Amino acid sequence: MTEEKQKSKISAKFDLTSKFWKVFLTLLAAVLTFAGPTYIVYVLLDILKIDYAVSMVSGFVLFLAGLVLIWYLIKNKVIS
């Protein structure tokens, strides 16, 4: 599959020119980057009594997911 066809499939799912998707994806990236490693780790540790290592790894994964989403949005010039 060519690169152009792949981009058209992605853009068909997320119309990045829409204000809704711009705001939603930006807020999602912020929540994943900042709230994921703090509040989700707290919930896993104290409320659900999950192991410390598992909660720290999940927080790190959420942080990385937020950074990747921010990188994607900057690369596609959704946010500047």
pLDDT digits (tens, 9 = 90+) for 21-78: 888 999 999 999 998 888 888 887 888 888 888 888 888 999 999 999 999 989 988 8
**pLDDT tens digit sequence for 8-19:** 555 556 677 788
Nearest C-alpha neighbor of 57 from the set 48, 71, 45, 69: 45
Q: What pLDDT shows up at residue 6?
A: 55
Write the DSSP symbol of residue 79.
Answer: -
The verdict on pTM exceeding 0.75 is no
Write the DSSP symbol of residue 76.
Answer: T
9-13: long-range contacts, CB 8 A cutoff, minimum separation 24: none
List helix spans (H) across 3-51: 3-13, 19-30, 41-42
